[in-house]
A = this chain, B = another copy of it.
């Protein structure tokens, strides 16, 4: 897609990917509501295929390619959830995924990509070498690059989580909170909300140590990220496709510290009895930080993913005791 997705693009994306993804559950908890002082609806993308919402966007992008392009394969550089999501989507349509990953990426992530038949090309752990290596792979294979967030088909796919959430709650939400990293989920959510729940305000949660989106809204241009947070899925900066959508559509960006993120993450584990990764806890941390704003309201929160090593989670919890 070469333009910002509209209503029909989102509906069509949902129709297209439906049979390849989970319609994840929406969870509520009276003890969470008592703590937060509002009615919280968690959209559980931690239960999504590959453990994160990224399965949606990658699936939609791969299914949107022409048969000829599909046959040549897809490529990306990523060490995170998008790598696995793209490898899975490629496997489903019977093509190849070429994933450029830094040498230093954890073995478990590489294993995840290989489990779906993805072909890994290693590179130096710098953005310059990642991009150079990806360009070489694309030139050699003819594969289509699928960017993790700066891609309209990916954005349309990520927007389908909000569509399902709006369908699941009986009355409209006052607020819908999502995390922001590169802005794919936030952009898709903004578009979905505009068409399917126009009275709902979209708010993003962002780590204080990677608050480029917050600063970009203030300066009016995309700012680089300091990339310093436990929320390792949210360290990237906005792209030229996500920035304008967010600038026009986000109601507010609330920044939270690492300690607030870890405490919110622990509350979700203990009270909702589900596993979420640090990045995933960021929007709920934002709700807890600004309780007056949400008091008594109906608040949707998209839980973005659950891919966290248990030992790492235990260390994080211990660090704020």
A residues touching B (Cβ–Cβ < 8 Å)? 25, 27, 30, 46-47, 49, 51, 266, 269-270, 272-276, 306, 310, 314, 317
Contacts and interface: CB of A to CB of B under 8 A. Distances in A.
A310 B269 contact: yes
Contacts of A269: 275, 310
A317 B25 CA distance: 28
A270 B310 contact: yes
Given A27-B47, A47-B273, A275-B274, A317 B310 contact: yes
A157 to B, nearest CB: 20
Interface of chain A, helix or strand or loop or mixed? helix
A46 B275 contact: no
Contacts of A317: 310
Given A25-B25, A47-B27, A273 B310 contact: no
A274 B27 CA distance: 12
B47 A310 contact: no
A236 to B, nearest CB: 24
Contacts of A46: 273
Nearest to A271: B51
Contacts of A273: 46-47, 51, 274-276, 306
Contacts of A274: 273-275
Nearest to A26: B25
Pairs of residues from A and B, 5 with the lowest C-beta to C-beta distance, nearest first: A273-B306, A273-B275, A314-B314, A46-B273, A25-B25
A266 B311 CA distance: 11
Contacts of A310: 266, 269-270, 314, 317
A166 B27 CA distance: 21
A107 to B, nearest CB: 16
Given A273-B274, A275-B275, 13 more contacts: A27-B47, A46-B273, A47-B272, A51-B273, A266-B310, A269-B310, A270-B275, A270-B310, A273-B275, A273-B276, A273-B306, A274-B274, A314-B314
Contacts of A306: 273
A97 to B, nearest CB: 18
A266 B270 CA distance: 16
Contacts of A275: 269-270, 273-275
A233 to B, nearest CB: 15
A67 to B, nearest CB: 26
A46 B272 CA distance: 9
A269 B51 CA distance: 12
A108 B43 CA distance: 29
Tell me which of A266, A275, A276 has the highest count of chain B C-beta atoms within 10 A of its own C-beta.
A275
A101 to B, nearest CB: 21
